[in-house]
């Protein structure tokens, strides 16, 4: 079985730099394009100019 490759635009929102790097690397390994922000306010700001297939946010 080969590598799974998914071409999606993903927005990652997390205030922890380690989690940001880990999740970004993970989604990129399956072929996703990832942007990273640190909080919900930044999510709202970036969504005004760009759309994403999925958004991952920490709680």
Nearest to 30 by CA among 57, 53, 59: 53
pTM (predicted TM-score): 0.86
Phi and psi for 17 in degrees, rounded to 5?
-60, -35
Q: Domain limits at 38?
A: 9-57
The pLDDT value given to residue 6: 76
Which CATH number do you get for residue 45?
Answer: 3.40.50.2300
31, part of any domain:
yes
Residue-wise pLDDT for 7-58, tens only, equals 899 999 999 999 999 999 999 988 899 999 999 999 999 999 999 999 999 8
Domain membership flag for residue 2? no
| Confidence (pLDDT) at 1 | 41
Is the pLDDT confidence value at 3 over 90? no
Total domain count for the chain? Answer: 1
Q: Other C-beta atoms within 10 Å of 37: how many? A: 20
3-state DSSP of 1-59? CCCCCCCCEEEEECCCHHHHHHHHHHHHHCCCEEEEECCHHHHHHHHCCCCCCEEEECC
Is residue 19, in this structure, part of any structural domain at all? yes
């Amino acid at each position: 079985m080969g590598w799974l490759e998914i071409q999606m635009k993903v927005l990652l929102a997390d205030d922890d730099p380690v989690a940001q790097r880990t999740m970004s690397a993970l989604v990129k390994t399956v072929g996703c394009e990832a942007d990273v922000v640190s909080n919900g306010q930044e999510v709202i700001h970036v969504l005004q100019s760009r759309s994403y297939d999925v958004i991952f946010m920490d709680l």
